[in-house]
């Protein structure tokens, strides 16, 4: 993989689509509040799944479980047929670390490290955690920053960047970890409207380059264009899923219809 190549490391051309992520019966409660109630998902290699749904329906919690930030109460997560976690009992720490290693998350509020420069933010994982040679990690980080048009910001601190620039750094930080799976939690919902386009364009490029992604988003137009599948989450279950064009134009489920109607006609 050349440093300027953004495409995922494990996707050789011609690799047949096989499930990269399989989730079965994922459950999660906070106290008495049952937030996820048996979630089933499959994402094939190189595919994009968009999660839509009302506030509080559990979309963020799904992503957090996939990244091991939240410990599910039940169900299974399988990555590439190589890593299988069963949450019937709390899985060993080693497995949770492995799960985290295979995915990388882009946060709604960026969550960049404010006391580190842009470059330091990006290499913190590769050098500090993955113990890759510093020179190599820096070269890759600079190439990635160049790709998103932020070469000249490498020594800036996050507070010196616009929201759109910070989110692009957030995406580069995720890419630099060389994950198999990219998770986006409403990556543009904290941005000023005129900055949304840059970030969505970047995510679309990543999709075209073959990254496997799960994206929580309220940008229906974006989901229609970029996602291979859309799933509508409500009350901790996946109520309806399908081809984006089909589902967004002609939803079958009553709750999906209502949700889409509210998004299209907010008042």
Partner 1 sequence: MTESTWQLLLDSLWPLLDGAIRGTIPLALASFAIGLVLALGLALMRLSKRPWLSGIARGYISIVRGTPLLVQLFVIFYGLPSIGVVIDPWPSAVVAFSLNVGGYAAEVIRAAILSVPKGQWEAAYMVGMSHRRALGRIILPQAARVSVPPLSNTFISLVKDTSLASLILVTELFRQAQEIAAFSQEFMLLYLEAALVYWVICLALSSAQGLLEKRLDRYVAH
Ligand X SMILES: Nc1ncnc2c1ncn2[C@@H]1O[C@H](COP(=O)(O)OP(=O)(O)OP(=O)(O)O)[C@@H](O)[C@H]1O
Verify binding: residue 61, Mg ion, rule CB under 5 A.
Answer: no
Tell me, rounded to whole angstroms, the distance of Cα 202 from its chain centroid: 13
Residue 56 binding result from partner 1, Mg ion, ligand X, none, given CB thresholds of 5 to 8 Å by partner type:
ligand X
- The residues binding ligand X (CB under 6 A) are 30, 33, 35, 53, 55-61
Contact code string over 122-141 relative to partner 1, x by CB under 8 A: --xx--xxx-----------
Contact code string over 125-164 relative to Mg ion, x by CB under 5 A: ----------------------------------------
In order of 24, 38, 52, 62, the CA distances from 34 in angstroms are 17, 10, 19, 13
Would you say 69 or 83 has its CB closer to ligand X?
Answer: 69
Interface residue with partner 1, options 4, 15, 97, 258 (CB under 8 A): 97
138/27 Cα distance (integer angstroms): 40
Residue 152 neighbours by CB under 8 Å, 6+ apart: none
HEC sequence for 178-242: CCCEEEEECCCCCCCHHHHHHHHHHHHHHHHCCCEEEEECCCHHHHHHHCCEEEEEECCEEEEEE
Interface residue with Mg ion, options 60, 67, 180, 256 (CB under 5 A): 60
Question: Contact at 8 Å (CB) between 220 and 263?
Answer: yes
Taking the complex as a whole, the smallest distance from the CB of residue 27 to ligand X amounts, in Å, to: 13
Question: Contact at 8 Å (CB) between 221 and 205?
Answer: no
Verify binding: residue 219, partner 1, rule CB under 8 A.
Answer: no
Q: Which residues bind Mg ion (CB under 5 A)?
A: 60
Q: Which residues bind partner 1 (CB under 8 A)?
A: 67-69, 97, 100-101, 104-105, 107, 109, 111-116, 124-125, 128-130, 157-159, 173-174, 177
């Amino acid at each position: 993989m050349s440093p300027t190549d953004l495409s995922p490391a494990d996707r050789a051309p011609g690799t047949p689509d096989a499930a990269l992520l399989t989730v079965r019966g994922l459950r999660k409660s906070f106290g008495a509040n049952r937030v996820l109630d048996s979630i089933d998902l499959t994402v094939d290699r190189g595919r994009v799944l968009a999660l839509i749904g009302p506030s509080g329906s559990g979309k963020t919690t799904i992503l957090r479980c996939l990244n091991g930030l939240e410990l599910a109460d039940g169900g299974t997560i399988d990555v590439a047929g190589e890593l299988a976690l069963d949450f019937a009992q709390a899985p060993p720490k080693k497995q949770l670390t492995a799960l985290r290693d295979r995915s990388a998350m882009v946060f709604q509020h960026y969550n960049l490290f404010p006391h580190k420069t842009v470059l330091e933010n990006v290499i913190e994982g590769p050098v500090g955690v993955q113990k890759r040679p510093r020179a190599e990690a820096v070269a890759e980080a600079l190439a990635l920053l160049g790709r998103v048009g932020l070469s000249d910001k490498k020594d800036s601190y996050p507070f010196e960047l616009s929201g759109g620039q910070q989110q692009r750094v957030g995406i580069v930080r995720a890419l630099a970890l060389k994950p198999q799976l990219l998770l986006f939690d409403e990556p543009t919902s904290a941005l000023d409207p005129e900055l949304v386009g840059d970030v969505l364009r970047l995510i679309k490029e990543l999709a075209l380059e073959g990254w496997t992604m799960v994206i929580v988003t309220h940008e229906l137009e974006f989901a229609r264009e970029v996602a291979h599948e859309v799933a509508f989450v409500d009350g901790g279950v996946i109520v309806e899923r399908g081809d984006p064009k089909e589902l967004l134009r002609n939803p079958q489920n009553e709750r999906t219809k209502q949700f889409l109607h509210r998004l299209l006609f907010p008042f």
